[in-house]
Chains A and B, each alone.
Chain A
Amino acid sequence: MSAVLRAQALGKKYKQRWALQNCDLDVPAGRVVGLVGPNGAGKSTLLKLVSGMLTPTTGTIEVCGGRPAEDMEQLAKVGFVAQDTPTYSALSIADHLDFGKRLNPNWDGELARDRIRRLGLDPKQRAGKLSGGQRAQLALTLGIAKRPELLVLDEPVAALDPLARREFMQDLMEAVAEHELSVVLSSHLVSDVERTCDYVIVLVDSRVQVAGDIDDLVACHHRLTGPRRAPDTLPAGQHVITASHTDRQTTLLVRTDTAVHDPSWTVSPLDLEDIVLAYMTRPANAVRDTRPALEVLR
């Protein structure tokens, strides 16, 4: 399957600070990708690079087979809903749809009007008067109705209450199913991603910690519990993500492609949240000097 997003040694530096470095990604088309990480990890920077809002400092990025935002054809392929879902507050919803129609070659006006009707929004209402959830829906409508191959959403639900959050995500998933979109969305909540995504990228401290299919990740990460021992006694092929010890017991979170046969370990499965949190909480210096590249691809 062709890649919707491919990055090699991608990096972005603002003045003195690296917001993203050494990022290698290869995301197949047709996936719903969750980009998770703490605030300030570089999620927005990565998404702005994907949408072509930023140009990379180092490395290369290819989206839907071209350089992001290079020309009109490329712009038409990618939809981007920026953080805080900006809209023109003085323009009405109808104006926004009109604006989308005039500026996008593949604009699906019927889809847009239909969505607005289904959401129960008044087309004559000014965007500035909408609630956060309604504004997010308007921005999403603009993103979907331009009929992109890839839709990029930066923290689309961050400002929404839990109910609106769930509704928005459900709505997004319906649109994805209906229009066969690829989606990359960021969130600092694993639960948002777990419910909606089938591919995850964990970004911490400007570096990709792990990226891969969620099912694969869950399949190859295990919690090992057993008598206390040093983590470096594990066989090759078992990589320790985090380790914790009590006086008698050692608990390891490991990644391995093969089954764990050592009978002294009790092996228990992990869910996505455990895995993501493990990558997020492990000491930063464990990865700073080595290239993370813990990519799981099958």
Chain B
Amino acid sequence: MIWLTWRQFRTQAAVMFAAVAALAATLAVTGPQLADLYRAAGSGLVDQVSSSDQTLYYTGLLVVLAVPAAIGMFWGAPLVCRELETGTHYLAWNQGITRTRWLATKLGLGAAASMTAAGLAALAVSWWSSPIDRAVNGGAATDTYFPRLDPVVFAARGVVPMAHAAFAFVLGVALGLVIRRTLAAMATTLVVYATVQLAVPMWVRPHLIAPDQTTVPITAGIPINIQEGAKQIVAHPEVPGAWETSQQTLNAAGRPAPVPSSFAECLHTESGLPTAQQIDGCIADLGAQGYQQQVTYQPAGNFWALQWAETALYLGPALALAGFCAWWIRHRVT
């Protein structure tokens, strides 16, 4: 059975692993000089990264984010679905092995290959990017690179890509089993996986590990963003490598309160934008009224705890989906 699974799977596997190998080779060539640069420049590295390395930083990021999605679509969805479509499951299920074992072998090997591919890609990219990540965590002032905890980067570092790949793979298999049309199953897999990948950082990941909180006094000159017609403000405390997950304005009594309307009135101009001095003045006024900004964030030190928690968060549903596939194939497939 392992032989048959491998025989059917090897082309797809070769394409994926060739792509991962190409990426890893490119990274291996340029990685050492980036590490040297960090040794020489420390956090100042962020201003000295060459433009080709900057491109590579984003390419690596995108590849690691895309690998699980591609695995779900191209490995997972067709795995059983194509057999159902072409009727070859009748051939496979009439040999001397039960269909449960047939499915278990396919799922087991597929999931292992998925985790290996995603793991290797993540390992290569994490290693290559580590000088930049360390520089950012070390307090480098940059808008170009993200802290490792930032939702953009988090899913492309460490161990979570493996869990994402396993989940995407089994999700694809399950959807293929239920939908029974390969193309539709591939498209649905992509949509569902992308939705999960957006929902988790927005609503789930901030709560996986207890976050830290800090209260920032509102004074002129601190970095503050004014949003939604001055009804909301966002402060950025100086915590290197942190991921800010929520913001709350507190009044003089230390209670959560909306930004007072006097702030919007203060910023109001007859035409055009308020001047920098005017904004500073208004912020100082707001601070003088006793308002403060409470920021909830995950500190850089929570990175690995969050990584493992999210790995478990994805592997659980992946196992549940595998169980669902086993049930479905025995009771619902005609």
Contacts and interface: CB of A to CB of B under 8 A. Distances in A.
Interface of A: 14, 48, 51-55, 69, 71-72, 75-76, 78-80, 82-84, 86-91, 95, 98-100, 102-106, 139, 142-143, 146
A84 B86 CA distance: 10
A100 B3 CA distance: 11
A86 B88 contact: yes
Interface string B1-20: 10110011000000000000
B203 interface: no
Interface in B55-95: 86-88, 90-91, 93-95
A39 to B, nearest CB: 17
A259 to B, nearest CB: 46
A68 to B, nearest CB: 10
B53 to A, nearest CB: 41
Contacts of B221: none
Given A51-B94, A75-B98, A86-B90, 20 more contacts: A52-B93, A53-B94, A53-B334, A69-B98, A75-B96, A76-B96, A78-B94, A82-B90, A84-B87, A86-B86, A86-B87, A87-B91, A91-B7, A99-B7, A100-B95, A102-B3, A103-B97, A106-B96, A139-B91, A146-B95
B90 A105 contact: no
B306 to A, nearest CB: 42
A103 B88 contact: no
Contacts of B7: 91, 95, 99
A99 B3 contact: yes
Contacts of A142: 91
Contacts of A100: 95
Nearest to A51: B94
Interface in B293-334: 331, 334
A69 B99 CA distance: 9
A88 B90 contact: no
Contact of A88 (B1, B91, B95, B99): B91
Chain B interface residue number, banded: 10 to 19
Interface of B: 1, 3-4, 7-8, 86-88, 90-91, 93-99, 331, 334
Given A98-B3, A99-B4, A55 B331 contact: yes
A67 B86 CA distance: 26
A104 B1 CA distance: 10
A75 B95 contact: yes
Contact of A102 (B1, B86, B90, B99): B1
A50 B88 CA distance: 18
B207 to A, nearest CB: 42
A38 to B, nearest CB: 21
Nearest to B99: A69
Contacts of B8: 88, 90-91
Contacts of B93: 52-53, 69
A103 B86 contact: no
Given A51-B94, A76-B96, A100-B95, A82 B3 contact: no
A82 B91 contact: yes
Nearest to A98: B3
Contact of B94 (A75, A83, A84): A75
Contacts of B96: 72, 75-76, 103-106, 146
A52 B93 CA distance: 9
Contacts of B331: 55
A87 B95 contact: no
Contact of A54 (B1, B91, B99, B334): B334
Contacts of B94: 51, 53, 75, 78-80, 143
A155 B114 CA distance: 39
A52 B333 CA distance: 12
A90 B78 CA distance: 14
A71 B91 CA distance: 16
